[in-house]
Amino acid sequence: MFVYGTLLDPALRRRLLPHRPGRLAPARLLGHRRVGVTARPWPTIVADATAGAAVEGLLWSGLTATDVARLDAYEGDAFERGVVTVRRLAAHADATRAAAAHADCEQVLAWAWRLRADARDRPSDLPWSPPT
């Protein structure tokens, strides 16, 4: 599972799946950008052909079908889960430089949620950043 928005928050992940910490690895989704959803406090991903467009997030593995169903319920009807190709990044201190060179990373298929095309809410033009 590639998470890039509210599920980056460790406290939220623990609240949703207290029994399943899973395994987390830094990851990057190329050819997309993370934007807000109009009048909502959460983001979505949109395709972006601009050179260098990418979304940083986490690859969350070790989830069961029950875990995924619970996360689907959290994401709600406005979002749909689909397959994306992400790069699992090096988890060492120099991950930024290694990722920039695409060294020490592997491409993997992962699920990710995005706003449904028929959703009432719309993606905004404004980038969204996780709270710090």
List pLDDT tens digits, range 20-66: 777 999 999 999 999 999 888 899 999 999 999 999 999 999 999 99
Six token digits for residue 48: 């972006």
Would you tell me how many other CB atoms lie within 10 Å of the CB of residue 91? 11
CA–chain centroid gap for 52, Å, is 17
Q: Which of 2, 116, 103 is nearest to 61 (CA)?
A: 2
pLDDT, residue 99, reads 46
Task: Give the pTM.
Answer: 0.85
Residues 6+ apart with CB under 8 A from 31: 47, 48, 49, 53, 54
More confident residue, 37 or 94: 37
